[in-house]
Structure 1
Amino acid sequence: MQTTMPDIADTAPALRTGKLDWVGMGEIELPFIFESRNIAPVNVVAKARAFVNLHKEDAKGIHMSRLFLALDTLSTEQQVNPQTLAQALDTFISSHDDLSDQAQIEFKFELPLRRESLLSGKVGWKNYPIHLIAKINQGVLSFELMVDVTYSSTCPCSAALARQLIQHAFDEKFAEQQIDKQTVLNWLGTTEGIVATPHSQRSIANVKVKLDNALTSFDVVGLIDALEGELKTPVQAAVKREDEQEFARLNGQNLMFCEDAARKIKGLLEEQEYADYWLQINHYESLHAHDAVAIAVKGVAGGYTA
């Protein structure tokens, strides 16, 4: 004889009443096909979080399996874009009738992109950490996108000190000599000539932007390209000697403290007119054991805070 299985979430009384802001699941392993402008749909593997609010104070709990199955449909039958995320959020709420009026999905994954070298024309893969958040609150949809861009930062102070040491070395070497251009040129090509070099470090810009609610497609590549173009010294994938030399030149011509990098990115985001943004610049010092950090926000009422 077939019996009805109990649904405790529907039938059991809550041990204690009260509304909850978010209830759901975290660290869900979820492969899916991601869509963004200027790249072909790409397979990624994300760690997902899925939530609804629980505004019915006496409800025992939500139906977590319904959230999981909606995500599974997104993973196996659809591609991830603004429209399918909106559908999944709507399913979250419609499957929790009278329990929830807000829903949220978060994805953290690495987006592999083919990136061309600086001069040689070689191409290689680079992975970009992505954090994508989609929310719906009483029918109002919102999207947030966070990307990490890694670049090289060369210290302006260290560069100035290195130049001074080179000047001193030149003065000591040729103090009593009448010299010609070729002699100086040869000397500059030696270790004795370039007696000091400035220190640089791998650095990361964490950038979060609030996207237009009415967008029809994500443009992750456009944001990454804009950030790397503004910073000038993104880390490279495929590198030949001419690329390494060009990278050294770009570092020398784009000296920056963390404050410089933060102001560059802030200016770029202002020009692109995002509704809101948050950024953190991290220079992982090679001189110090600590890091240099700068943070900035757009500063809108009720928006991101530093």
Structure 2
Amino acid sequence: MYIETQEEEPEIKIPLPRVGITNLKTIAKINWKGRVYTFIPTFEVTIDLAEEKKGIHMSRLVESITEAMSEAVEEEVKRIHTSLEELALSIIQRIEKKHPHRRAEVWIKTTLILERETPSSKKISYEPYDVEVGVIKEKNSIKKVLKVRVIGNTACPHAMVNNQGKTHIQRAIAELEIITNFEEDIALEDMIDVVESSFSSPTYTLLKTSDENAVVRRMYENPKFVEDVAREIFAKAIEKFRGKVHVKVISNESIHKHDVIAEAWN
């Protein structure tokens, strides 16, 4: 028989809103658009801890993740989770059977690979995008947080105007976050498209010479400040998606020793 030291009273009685596990990596399968994709995501799972409890049963959180993963691996394709947020909610539902709490959060970070066609040679390039999904359940309320991180390019319009059409270009990194109700149907790839279409040009893993030329021409035809990129992402996002929107764009400047940043939120 084991002694449940977690159930003892702590010396300092202070409630903790978030206690759990972080940086846990495991396998996950998602039935995304009729195809099964395998991810190696990183999980953070937390619940609240009452002031009269010394600790939580950490193994029960890990067990809930493992059970959700095992179900996806063993069951038929049609029963595999269809989104990362559905997987996160499945983990919370299992925690509810194993550990008392009032609030639970599951965060999943992974990389989404999308097929892109290069602009000139029309070859397929497989592009990585960092994504994060969080599901937060408190009482009868379930919220989700969707985040995407996209790399693009910008060409400076100020230098172009003042330097006879010549300008400096740089890589820019944009993040789009949406906080919304769990029932809202928002696809991560749609968020990625909104962000990627707002740069001077997208970036590509694979580029033949004709593609490189096409990207450079596109950037020079579409010069933008980092402020322009942030505003365009924000305008498109609030029109297309329902929820709280946060946009953050960082330009890794090519002619300065510092970077520049622009943000917007509602």
Q: Indicate whether the TM-score tops 0.5.
A: yes
Aligned Cα root-mean-square deviation (Å): 1.8
More strand per residue: 2
Q: Find the counterpart in structure 1 of residue 182 from structure 2.
A: 213
Q: Deviations over 1:199-218 (max 9, x none)?
A: 10011101111234214x65
Quick one: which amino acid aligns to residue 202 of structure 1? Answer: R
Residue ranges of structure 1 left out of the alignment (5+ in a row): 165-196, 299-306
Q: CA deviation at 1:27?
A: 0.7
Q: State the secondary structure of the residue aligned to 1:21.
A: strand
Counterpart of 1:34 (choices 20, 26, 30) is 30
Work out whether 1:14 is the aligned partner of 2:17. Answer: no
Work out whether 1:48 is the aligned partner of 2:73. Answer: no
In structure 2, the CA distance between the partners of 1:218 and 1:69, relative to structure 1 (3 Å rule), is farther
Q: Which moved more, 1:109-118 or 1:255-264?
A: 109-118
Q: Find the counterpart in structure 1 of residue 89 from structure 2.
A: 86
Q: Which moved more, 1:152-161 or 1:237-246?
A: 237-246
Q: State the secondary structure of the residue aligned to 2:89.
A: helix
Q: Check whether the contact 1:145–1:209 (CA below 8 A) recurs between aligned residues.
A: yes
In structure 2, the CA distance between the partners of 1:124 and 1:130, relative to structure 1 (3 Å rule), is same
Aligned equivalents of 1:237 and 1:116: distance in 2?
11
Q: CA deviation at 1:232?
A: 5.0
Mapping 1:53-72, distance limit 5 Å:
53-54=48-49, 56-72=50-66
Work out whether 1:295 is the aligned partner of 2:263. Answer: yes
In structure 2, the CA distance between the partners of 1:39 and 1:287, relative to structure 1 (3 Å rule), is farther
Q: Find the counterpart in structure 2 of residue 153 from structure 1.
A: 154
Q: Check whether the contact 2:145–2:177 (CA below 8 A) recurs between aligned residues.
A: yes
Residue ranges of structure 2 left out of the alignment (5+ in a row): 73-79
Mapping 1:64-143, distance limit 5 Å:
64-78=58-72, 79-80=80-81, 81=83, 82-97=85-100, 100-143=101-144
Q: Find the counterpart in structure 1 of residue 173 from structure 2.
A: 204
Q: Check whether the contact 2:155–2:200 (CA below 8 A) recurs between aligned residues.
A: no
Q: CA deviation at 1:229?
A: 2.2
In structure 2, the CA distance between the partners of 1:115 and 1:39, relative to structure 1 (3 Å rule), is farther
Aligned equivalents of 2:186 and 2:59: distance in 1?
28
Quick one: which amino acid aligns to residue 235 of structure 2? Answer: G
Q: Check whether the contact 2:88–2:108 (CA below 8 A) recurs between aligned residues.
A: no
Q: State the secondary structure of the residue aligned to 2:216.
A: helix
Q: CA deviation at 1:142?
A: 1.0
Q: Find the counterpart in structure 1 of residue 76 from structure 2.
A: none
Q: Deviations over 1:214-253 (max 9, x none)?
A: 14x6511121122222335110132122211211111011
Quick one: which amino acid aligns to residue 231 of structure 2? Answer: R
Q: Find the counterpart in structure 2 of residue 280 from structure 1.
A: 248
Count of equivalent residues: 257
Counterpart of 2:236 (choices 256, 268, 282) is 268
Q: Which moved more, 1:222-231 or 1:250-259?
A: 222-231
Aligned equivalents of 1:208 and 1:39: distance in 2?
26
Identity %: 22
Q: Find the counterpart in structure 2 of residue 190 from structure 1.
A: none
Structure with higher Rg: it is 1
Q: Check whether the contact 2:194–2:233 (CA below 8 A) recurs between aligned residues.
A: no
Aligned equivalents of 2:146 and 2:132: distance in 1?
6
Aligned equivalents of 1:266 and 1:63: distance in 2?
41
Under a length normalisation based on structure 1, what TM-score does the superposition of the two structures give?
Answer: 0.79
Point out which structure has higher relative CO (alpha carbons under 8 A, 6+ apart): 1
Q: State the secondary structure of the residue aligned to 2:41.
A: strand
Q: State the secondary structure of the residue aligned to 1:214.
A: coil
Aligned equivalents of 2:6 and 2:35: distance in 1?
42
